[in-house]
């Protein structure tokens, strides 16, 4: 038998696996690296987070990725070059983390890498007849595997799309496996670049599960901070608290067609970006708004789109909400949600024993474990598939 297939078979049969999940989000803060220990699979999965680190990206690397991110006119040569570079670079960061943790690469059974999304194009967004849902993550798995010497699983979203999904949000699988509790209605709310949630019914009925994008998370706030203040984000919501919500602009932002579409649905910075803001300001006649008021209004936009969705779809007085992602630390957004949903119990996923910063990296480690030894899971209306492509180290 081919030695790579023998290795794959051997790893898949292990009772306990040590896997690394990698997540690089649209905010481009850095690479989240979660080292997890797994036993079992599917609904019987048991896991522990062994180590976690976020390694910040250099500014030159961020600018390189931003030059092609969510751009229809992206330079194809740059896309090609970055596909290889990101895979190798992420491998270097994994080795850096392992060295810091005093763990040898040979001790790790697999890496599960999300890659770097550069474009997300569901049919509802591109509206081109004859073309399917599509998404593109770069950071080639072969480069990662060769750099680290570790079996790598990557490109998870393509199978989801090929089987009829939109390639997102994939949080559903991890949320169901790690966050369900009979007797409690739960929402696992991730506020990353885009905000998404998974609703888990107290009666355990899989048909009631809903996983969907809601709207912008941090993406428009961060972009406006870069434009107006040359800052990567609004630290401690200081700018938001120094401004005032402009109702005319807020209502125009919330009037977008995306918010009228039926869930489940997906979106991305291809829609929610500074052009969306500029057009909303033009329509609402608020072009002269101060930068502080813009940041404040965008923060309210994120929070209100979340609270409105929850109020429209669930009984907010009988629900526990667990937050994760960078937005879980956004004081303005969380305060807004607590006021808008006064009867909901809102905490971050730390209350579940899941580091809110590590949650998405853990998710991909979990998906990697399923790729190795799981069976396709039927959850709600999502495709019943196993995801990920394998790259061997030799």
- For the annotated binding site for ATP, the residues are 25-32
Name which of 333, 335, 313, 73 is nearest 197 in CA terms.
313
d(CA 27, CA 166): 21
Binding residue ranges: 25-32
The pair of structure tokens assigned to 112 is 């599960």
Q: What are phi and psi of 317, to 5 degrees?
A: -90, 5
Phi, psi (deg, nearest 5) at residue 200:
-120, 120
For 228, the 3-state DSSP assignment is helix
Q: Which of 394, 365, 370 is nearest to 37 (CA)?
A: 365
Q: First-to-last CA distance in the chain?
A: 15
- Tokens 């996923």, located at residue: 349
Element (H, E) at 364: helix 359-373
> What dihedral angle (degrees, nearest 10) is formed by the CA atoms of 300, 304, 305, 310?
150
Distance CA 22, CA 4 (A): 22
Q: Indicate the helix (H) or strand (E) that contains 35.
A: strand 30-39
Taking the CA atoms of 347, 313, 216 and 228 in sequence, report the sign of the dihedral they define. Answer: negative
Alpha carbons 390 and 12: distance in angstroms, whole number: 12
Q: CA–CA separation, 32 vs 147, rounded Å?
A: 18
SS3 252: helix
Please choose, from the candidates 371, 377, 308, the residue with its C-alpha nearest in 3D space to the C-alpha of residue 336.
308
């Amino acid at each position: 038998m081919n030695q790579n297939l023998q290795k794959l078979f051997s790893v898949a049969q292990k009772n306990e696996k040590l896997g690394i999940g990698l997540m690089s989000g649209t905010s481009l803060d850095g690479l989240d690296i979660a080292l997890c220990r797994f036993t079992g699979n599917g609904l019987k999965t048991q896991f522990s987070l062994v180590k976690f680190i976020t390694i910040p990206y250099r500014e030159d690397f961020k600018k390189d990725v931003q030059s092609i991110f969510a751009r229809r006119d992206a330079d194809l040569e740059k896309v090609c070059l970055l596909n290889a570079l990101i895979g190798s670079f992420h491998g270097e960061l994994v080795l850096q983390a392992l060295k810091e943790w005093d763990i040898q690469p040979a001790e790790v059974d697999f890496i599960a890498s999300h890659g770097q999304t550069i474009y997300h194009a569901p049919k509802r967004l591109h509206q081109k007849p004859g073309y399917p849902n599509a998404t593109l993550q770069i950071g080639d798995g072969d480069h990662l595997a060769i750099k680290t010497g570790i079996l790598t699983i990557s490109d998870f979203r393509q199978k989801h799309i090929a089987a009829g999904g939109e390639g997102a949000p994939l949080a559903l699988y991890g949320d169901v496996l790690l966050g369900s509790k009979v007797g409690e209605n739960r929402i696992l709310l991730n506020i990353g670049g885009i905000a998404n949630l998974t609703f888990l019914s107290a009666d355990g009925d899989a048909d009631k599960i809903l996983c969907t994008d809601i709207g912008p998370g941090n993406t428009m706030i961060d972009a406006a901070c870069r434009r107006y203040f040359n800052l990567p984000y609004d630290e401690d919501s200081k700018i938001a608290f120094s401004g005032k919500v402009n109702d005319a602009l807020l209502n125009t932002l919330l009037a977008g067609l995306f918010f009228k579409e039926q869930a489940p649905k997906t979106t991305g910075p291809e829609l929610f970006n500074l052009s969306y803001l500029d057009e909303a300001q033009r329509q609402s006649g608020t072009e002269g708004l101060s930068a502080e008021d813009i940041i404040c209004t965008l923060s309210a936009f994120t929070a209100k789109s979340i609270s409105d969705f929850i109020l429209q779809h669930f009984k907010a007085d009988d629900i526990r909400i667990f937050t994760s992602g960078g937005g879980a630390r956004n004081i303005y957004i969380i305060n807004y949600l607590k006021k808008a949903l006064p009867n909901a119990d809102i905490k971050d996923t730390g209350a579940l024993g899941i580091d809110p910063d590590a949650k998405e990296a853990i998710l991909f480690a979990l998906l990697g474990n399923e790729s190795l030894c799981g069976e396709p899971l039927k959850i709600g209306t999502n495709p019943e598939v196993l995801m990920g492509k394998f790259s061997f180290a030799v």
